[in-house]
């Protein structure tokens, strides 16, 4: 998977990209793991769009890819390779 956020291009699995983004937050300790960061992004997505954001059951990779797809759908990032 490959995404672009502003001028940054990130590449890896969905979970690796989410982990990279988690570590770039102001206080990465606020989110103890990648899954908690995904759920934080989900809550922000719902607040910003006033839309539901169901994530699939499954592992962190499945949820990360789904969340990245949702964010691409609202223009928060560009999905370069899926």
* Tens-place pLDDT, residues 14-23: 999 999 999 9
* Average pLDDT across the chain, whole number: 95
Answer yes or no: is pLDDT of 28 > 80.
Answer: no
Residue range 7-19: average pLDDT?
97
Burial bucket for residue 67 (CB in 10 Å: 0-12, 13-18, 19+): buried
Q: For the whole model, what pTM was predicted?
A: 0.92
CA dihedral for 24, 49, 36, 20, sign (positive or negative):
negative
Q: What is the pLDDT of residue 82?
A: 78
């Amino acid at each position: 998977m490959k995404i672009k956020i502003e001028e940054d291009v990130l590449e890896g699995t969905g979970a690796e990209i989410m982990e990279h983004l988690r570590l770039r937050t102001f206080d990465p300790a606020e989110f103890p793991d990648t899954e908690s960061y995904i759920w934080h992004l989900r809550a922000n997505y719902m607040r910003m769009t006033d839309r539901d954001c169901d994530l699939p059951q499954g592992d962190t990779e499945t949820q990360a890819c789904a969340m990245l797809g949702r964010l691409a759908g609202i223009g928060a990032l560009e999905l370069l390779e899926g």
